[in-house]
């Protein structure tokens, strides 16, 4: 059974800091990995999708890496801003089924 | 292009009642998935539909059911509501064909409160 873990559960940083969010998964047989952002009481916004054949993806100040062999992904946020405050969720797409398995998320607070 | 829409956005029901939630996917998307989000369990997969057929189902009781129409719109139904069904229900759509790890696009969710 695929399990996804995100560490830390919560993170508070001052504005301008670079930070890394971690995601680990137990089964390396994944099709892809997707990072999402969720604001309180809202739906999920897709940030980055990394296909299983890729090692990383970049979008603006965000960079996500994927190491299938070690079952790890990281989301790097450069020059953090208060508007980045949200919960960040990592999800893996399981081969052979049509579903995402989610981690519990990392709640990020960026202080002005 | 309009995003995934869900109606209603908020619902309050009492135990024992039933409820129907609706999801309209992004135009052209044929795969629709449903997820339940609670503080304790996080996001859990309910089921996925493609071309009006359920392709996969999560580990939820039979009180949770769904369907998909020919225009790809989907509904999920929860019968005999329990307090533990209080949650944010999220719908996601993915491009034609779905599967194989296509990017998922989520709607704003329906907040269901059972009293």
Residues 43-102 of A with CB under 8 A from B: 43-46, 49, 51-52, 89, 91, 93, 97-102
Average pLDDT, chain A: 93
Of A88, A112, A111, nearest to A8 by C-alpha is: A88
For the segment B38-71, what is each residue's pLDDT rounded down to a tens digit? 998 999 999 999 889 998 899 999 999 999 999 9
Q: What pLDDT, on a 0 to 100 scale, did the predictor assign at position B56?
A: 87
Q: Which residue of chain A comes nearest to B103, CA vs CA?
A: A49
Cβ distance A6 to A106 under 8 Å?
A: yes
Q: Which residue of chain A comes nearest to B106, CA vs CA?
A: A44
Of A17, A12, A30, nearest to A106 by C-alpha is: A12
**Closest CB from A46, A52, A98 relative to B105:** A46
Distance CA B114, CA A89 (A): 26
Give the mean pLDDT of A77-95: 94
Which DSSP letter does residue B15 get?
T
Distance CA A89, CA B85 (A): 22
For the segment A11-70, what is each residue's pLDDT rounded down to a tens digit? 999 999 999 999 999 988 888 899 999 999 889 999 999 988 889 999 999 999 999 999
For the segment A64-74, what is each residue's pLDDT rounded down to a tens digit? 999 999 999 99
Cβ contact B106–A34 (<8 Å):
no
Q: Is the pLDDT of residue B98 over 90?
A: no
């Amino acid at each position: 059974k695929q399990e996804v873990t995100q560490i830390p559960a919560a993170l508070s940083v001052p504005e301008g800091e670079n930070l890394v969010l971690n995601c680990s998964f137990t089964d390396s047989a994944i099709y892809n990995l997707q990072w999402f952002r969720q604001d309180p009481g809202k739906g999920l916004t897709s940030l980055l999708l990394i296909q299983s054949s890729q090692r990383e993806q970049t979008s603006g100040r965000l960079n996500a890496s994927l190491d299938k062999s070690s079952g790890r992904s990281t989301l790097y946020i450069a020059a953090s801003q208060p508007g980045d405050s949200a919960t960040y969720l990592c999800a893996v797409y399981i081969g052979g089924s049509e579903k995402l398995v989610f981690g519990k998320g990392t709640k990020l607070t960026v202080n002005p | 292009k309009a995003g995934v829409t869900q109606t209603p956005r908020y619902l309050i029901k009492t135990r024992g009642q039933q409820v129907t939630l609706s999801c309209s996917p992004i135009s052209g998307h044929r795969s629709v998935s449903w997820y339940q989000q609670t503080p304790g369990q996080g996001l859990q997969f309910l089921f996925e539909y493609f071309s009006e057929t359920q392709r996969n189902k999560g580990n939820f009781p039979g009180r949770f059911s769904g369907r998909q129409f020919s225009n790809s719109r989907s509904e999920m139904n929860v019968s005999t509501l329990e307090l533990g069904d209080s949650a944010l229900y999220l719908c996601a759509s993915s491009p034609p064909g779905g599967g194989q790890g296509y990017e998922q696009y989520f709607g704003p969710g329906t907040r269901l409160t059972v009293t």
